[in-house]
Amino acid sequence: MLSYPLDAIDVRILEELQRNAKLTNVELAARVHLSPSPCLARVRALERAGVISRYVTLLDALKLGQAVSVFIQVRLEQQVERALKTFEAAIAAWPEVMECYLMTGDADYLLRVVVADIPAFERFILERLSKIRGVANIRSSFALKQVKYETALPLG
C-alpha cells in the first residue's frame, strides 16, 4: 500500500527523474505532457512529501579506481541496542560502505563495500571493521562481475 497517493502523471514524473535527474523542468514537463508550471508544482509536492528524497549523480566505480566490490556478513556478539547503535555509528562514518542492512538469518548485518584493491580491503577489515566493539564474526564474498545494477524503483 502506498503511503503517498500517486496518479499516472506523478508516476511518469518519477520514472523520468529516475532515468535522468538533470532534466530541466521544461524538458520534464514536455516528456510528461504538462505545462512547466504544473509540472514544477508536482515535483515540489513530491519533494515535500519525501517521495523524492534527494538527487544524486551516479559515478563509474571502475573508472575511478574502485574496482573491488565486496559483500560482508557481520555477526555481533549480542544483538542489544547498545551494540547495534555502536556498529551502525561506525559504519555510517566510512565512505567505503556503500550499503548496510540489518538482517534476519545467520548474519546481523550485510554490507556492500567498494575499495580500490585487495590491500585496501585488508586495511578496511583490520583497521576498521574488526575493531568495532562487539563484532563476533566477519564473512566476505568478492563480487566477480556486476550482472545487474539498478537505482530506479519499479513504479508500475
Residue 20 confidence (pLDDT) above 80? yes
Name the CATH architecture for the domain at 8-48: Orthogonal Bundle (1.10)
Crossing angle of helices 36-48 and 8-19, in 10° steps, is 80
Count the Cβ atoms, other than its own, within 10 Å of residue 129.
22
Which pLDDT score is estimated for 156? Answer: 75
Which pLDDT score is estimated for 2? Answer: 67
Name the CATH architecture for the domain at 68-142: 2-Layer Sandwich (3.30)
pLDDT tens-digit series, residues 57-75: 999 999 999 999 999 999 9
Residues of the chain with CATH 3.30.70.920: 68-142
Residue 40 confidence (pLDDT) above 90? yes
Residue 85 confidence (pLDDT) above 70? yes
Quote the pTM value.
0.88
CA–CA dist 107, 90 (Å, integer) = 17
**For the chain, what is the mean pLDDT?**
96
Q: Which of 100, 102, 104, 103 is nearest to 128 (CA)?
A: 100
Which pLDDT score is estimated for 142? Answer: 98
CA–CA dist 149, 80 (Å, integer) = 33
- The percent of residues in the chain predicted with pLDDT above 70, rounded, is 99
Residues of the chain with CATH 1.10.10.10: 8-48
Which pLDDT score is estimated for 34? Answer: 97
